[in-house]
Amino acid sequence: VFLCTRGLKVTSTGPQTVQRAEGDSVTLGCSYMPSLLDTGEIDIEWSVLSPDTTKKDQMLLSYTGGTEYHHGGPRVTEGFSFAAGDPSKGDASLSIAQLSRNHTSTYQCKVKKSPGVDTRKVSLVVKVKPSVPRCWLEGGELVGGAVSLHCESSEGSTPLTYKWRRESKDPMPAAATQDGSTGELRISNHTQSFAGIYLCEVNNAVGAERCRISLRANKHPNRSAVIGGNVVGSLLLVFILLVFAGVLYWKLEDRRHHDREFSNEIRSRVKRADN
């Protein structure tokens, strides 16, 4: 949006809305060209426009008489500076370092060189990049069954978009459907050809991250082998129980025999003593 009086003109033509990631830096363009009719000193102001029209805008940075001024205290203007070493040479662009979500606002550059004046407004939107997502699997990995791969970022400004692909660059299974908003990839009829490494990428307007997961294709166990194994296992268990019972019976009989001999010996000693 431009307001132009006399000859001075702001010439920056970049986007009116700029999106950047939290922690990044940004330069809001404000190049200008004075007219031969403008004879006064260069006066530059950068302000944050208040969304409430009944309140004053917050001036951040100004340049007048060859001197740069910061307004509102260090907490307000920390990280703000003119991009050019000398803003009077036609570049009044604003640099902001270490962006946070608090920097989301509409900024106005105002350049005056009497009698000319012009302005430019730029909306800055600071968003959070997606965090590294977590990949996990639900359902078995049996051939012929259904399996779901999931992907989720715990942080990141919405909207987040998820997309699955195969690391081998092979085409996605025809039996697979994916939901870009939830991060789910569902395979309804799993086959051996679907096994491999899968990558999930999550992105938003300011960044992207990804995770990977391995999908196997396990065959159903052989039923006859399972039945045979169960039979052998059962017979082995019966054999072990019989051996245990035999050993126990042998020990009990041996003890009874020993007790009988001991009793007979005691009785013999008693009889000899009586005689």
User: Average of pLDDT values for 27-31?
Assistant: 97
pLDDT digits (tens, 9 = 90+) for 111-151: 999 999 999 999 999 999 999 999 999 988 999 899 999 99
Please indicate whether residue 73 or residue 101 has the higher confidence score (pLDDT). 101
Rounded-to-integer distance, Cα 31 and Cα 264, Å: 123
Asked if residue 8 lies in contact with residue 78, where contact means CB atoms within 8 angstroms, the answer is no
For residue 131, which of 162, 165, 97, 164 has the smallest C-alpha distance? 162
pLDDT digits (tens, 9 = 90+) for 52-77: 988 999 999 999 999 999 998 877 88
DSSP class of 159 = P
Asked if residue 22 lies in contact with residue 99, where contact means CB atoms within 8 angstroms, the answer is yes
Rounded-to-integer distance, Cα 183 and Cα 162, Å: 5
Rounded-to-integer distance, Cα 192 and Cα 44, Å: 67
In the chain, what are the domains?
4-127 (2.60.40.10), 134-215 (2.60.40.10)
pLDDT digits (tens, 9 = 90+) for 140-190: 899 989 999 999 999 999 999 999 999 998 888 888 999 999 999 999 989
Could you tell me the pTM of the whole model? 0.70
pLDDT at residue 112, as a whole number: 96
- Output Rg (C-alpha) for the chain, integer angstroms: 41
